[in-house]
Amino acid sequence: MSSFLGSLDVRNSGVHLMRSQGNSFLLRITFSENVEKAFCLTQSVLELFFSLCSVCPVDQFIELICDNETTRWHIRFWNCNGTVAKACGNGTRCAAHLLYRLGYCGAKMTFHGPVGLLNTSIEMGMPFCDEGDKKVQNLFQDVSVHQGKGRGISLKFAEKNFSKKEWEYFKQNDSYIGGVDVGNFHLIIIGKEDPFLYVRFYHEQFKKNLSTYRENFFNISYVRYKTSGNADISTWERGVGPTLACGSAACAALVALRKIYPISQVRLYFPGGPISVFYCEKKGYEHKASSVYERCVCGGGVVR
């Protein structure tokens, strides 16, 4: 670990544990004169994360690299099985919260992600929390993540990624199926069943065959729409399995729901907590939920 850290400027770096609606993340901050070189060190990054994950299990690992020359912040995601993720909504939320909390950025932030820019905004005016004898701000923070306009994926293409049996499972009981790209790929199934049980059953039945190492495999969510803009949802995450929440799936769910219902916003209830998603023609899809700072698990500068 020390040889890897020695190859970068590690001023103020550290690995931090954060959560958003049950999704958990290890986030590392580094400053580099050479971002390309920093990203070449993927193997070492994963070794560091895997060693920490064995004592502190999480869904994703997130690397935040500040380019010293341009002061741009780059963000990269890995699922806990080591596969690269091209987008991660809740992880981006936690990243914005972490940098804000450490004083590296203001309320609005732009990340340079694997498939483009990711804009975030921190909800101002959150209360102070007591921590020992000092007041500490920003342990909890509501954060919005703009995840672009979303793109439909043809069902023919989606179907090719699954076995006949899996596809039959998705198609049962007149459910609606939509393929959506919001940076990463999602299969959204809309029906009347209990989403949590649906996803658990899917995982139990098909876990032997799940192609989690395939680069473009799908995250799978089941959505049960209720009245007045609310819905229950559960997600099976590529590279993770059944998960408590998923920000990018929340976005993809509204993209799919809008094919059936005349809505521009929805509050989605994941097993880990709710995520609100909004659509506007100009900016596309934005999701908002809370992020929680847990602790610094290794290294790091002074945390306010």
Ligand X SMILES: N[C@@H](CCC[C@H](N)C(=O)O)C(=O)O
Is 240 among the residues that bind ligand X (CB under 6 A)? yes
* Nearest approach, Cβ of residue 303 and ligand X (Å): 24
Q: Compute the distance between CA of residue 98 and CA of residue 176 in angstroms, rounded to an integer.
A: 38
Q: Say how many residues touch ligand X, by CB under 6 A.
A: 18
Q: Check: CB of residue 284 under 8 Å from CB of residue 144.
A: no
Give bridge partners of residue 18 from the DSSP assignment. Answer: 25, 293
Q: Compute the distance between CA of residue 59 and CA of residue 237 in angstroms, rounded to an integer.
A: 9
Which of 85, 99, 223, 297 binds ligand X (CB under 6 A)? It is 85
Which of 13, 15, 17, 23 binds ligand X (CB under 6 A)? It is 23
Site residues (CB under 6 A) for ligand X, limited to 88-117: 88-91
Cα 300 from chain centroid?
A: 23
Options 82-90, 122-130, 136-144, 263-271: segment touching ligand X (CB under 6 A): 82-90
88 tagged catalytic? yes
Q: Which is nearer to ligand X, 237 or 286 (CB)?
A: 237
Options 28-36, 201-209, 233-241, 288-296: segment touching ligand X (CB under 6 A): 233-241
Which H or E element spans position 25? strand 23-32
Do the strands 73-79 and 108-113 form a parallel or antiparallel pair, or are they unpaired? Answer: parallel
Q: Which is nearer to ligand X, 175 or 291 (CB)?
A: 291
Which of 24, 60, 120, 141 binds ligand X (CB under 6 A)? It is 60
Catalytic member of 88, 94, 105, 246: 88
* Nearest approach, Cβ of residue 61 and ligand X (Å): 11
Give bridge partners of residue 292 from the DSSP assignment. Answer: 19, 140
Q: Compute the distance between CA of residue 41 and CA of residue 282 in angstroms, rounded to an integer.
A: 37
Closest CA to 135 of 143, 126, 144: 126
Q: Could you write out the three-class secondary structure of 181-204?
A: ECCCEEEEEECCCCHHHHHHHHHH
Is 120 among the residues that bind ligand X (CB under 6 A)? no
* Nearest approach, Cβ of residue 248 and ligand X (Å): 3
**For residue 47, how many C-alpha atoms fall within 13 Å in the half-sphere facing its CB?**
9
Options 2-10, 86-94, 152-160, 187-195: segment touching ligand X (CB under 6 A): 86-94
Both tokens assigned to 29: 């901050």
Options 50-58, 136-144, 156-164, 246-254: segment touching ligand X (CB under 6 A): 246-254
Site residues (CB under 6 A) for ligand X, limited to 124-183: none
221: left (phi over 0), alpha (psi -120 to 50) or beta: beta
The contact set with ligand X (CB under 6 A) reads 23, 59-60, 79, 85, 88-91, 184, 219, 237-240, 246-248
Residue positions annotated with a catalytic role: 88
